[in-house]
Amino acid sequence: MGSINIGVLASGRGSNLEAILQSCEEGRIDGKVSVVISDVEDAYALERARKHGVPAVYIPPGKFKTKLEPEIEAQYVRVLTEHGVDLVCLAGFMRILGSCLIGEFRGRILNIHPALLPAFPGLEAQRQAWEYGAKVAGCTVHFVDEGVDTGPIIIQRAVPVLDDDDWHTLADRILEQEHKAYSEAIQLFAQGRLVVEGRRVRILPC
C-alpha cells in the first residue's frame, strides 16, 4: 500500500498516540500522523501532537456523554478527509462512533483495548480482569464496527496477572504491550497485509 496518512482520535493523555508518533518517526510504521482530533479541549494528546508538529484539532463533543451526534461526526469526517487520512486510530477515545464516521472509513478504523477480547469489554478493562481474578490479561487491537469493542481482532498480547499485582500495576504492564501491538497492527495495515474474512482477520505473509 505504501506510506499512509493516519488520523488519531484521543480523549486523554495520549500515550498510545506518542508510541504511534515515535514508530512513524523511527520508520517502524510506513506512514505519518497527519492530524490528531480530541473531544477534550485540554487533552494532553493535543499537546503531544503539537510537539511533533502534527495538526491538533479540538471538536466540541456535543450534548451526549458517550457518543457523538451525527452533526459532530460529520465534522470529524470533514477534518479527517481534509488531511487525507487513510487510517483512523482510536487512542483512548472515549466515545462510541456512529454510522456517519464508520460508514466513511469502514474497514479503516482501528482501536486498542486493554483486555483480551471478547473478555472484559468497556471501561476499566484492566480493573475488571483483576477484580474477576483472571490469571492472564492483555490487550487487543481490532477493527472498529458499530458495537462496543466487538470488531474483528487483529492482534492480541497476553500479560500474566501476578500475585502481588493491583489493577494499576497490571494496567502499566498491559500498556507496555499496547504500545508495541498497536504499532505492529498499523504497519500490517500499511503493508496491505490484513484481510477480514467474517470475524477473522488473516495476516498475509510479507
Q: Which residues contact 68 (CB under 8 A, 6 or more apart)?
A: 39, 61, 62, 76, 95, 96, 97, 98, 101
Beta strands in the chain (DSSP E): 4-10, 31-38, 56-58, 87-90, 109-113, 136-143, 153-160, 194-197, 200-203
In the residue annotation, 52 being an active-site residue is answered as no
Task: Return the H-helix or E-strand segment holding 176.
Answer: helix 167-190
Task: Name the active-site residue from 113, 142, 168, 179.
Answer: 113
pTM of the model: 0.96
pLDDT of residue 1: 59
7: its cell numbers: 488520523
Reduced to 3 states (helix: H, G, I; strand: E, B; else coil), residue 150 is coil
Task: Return mean pLDDT, the chain.
Answer: 96
115-130 pLDDT tens trace: 999 999 999 999 999 9
Mean pLDDT of 56-76: 92
Q: Domains plus CATH for the chain?
A: 4-193 (3.40.50.170)
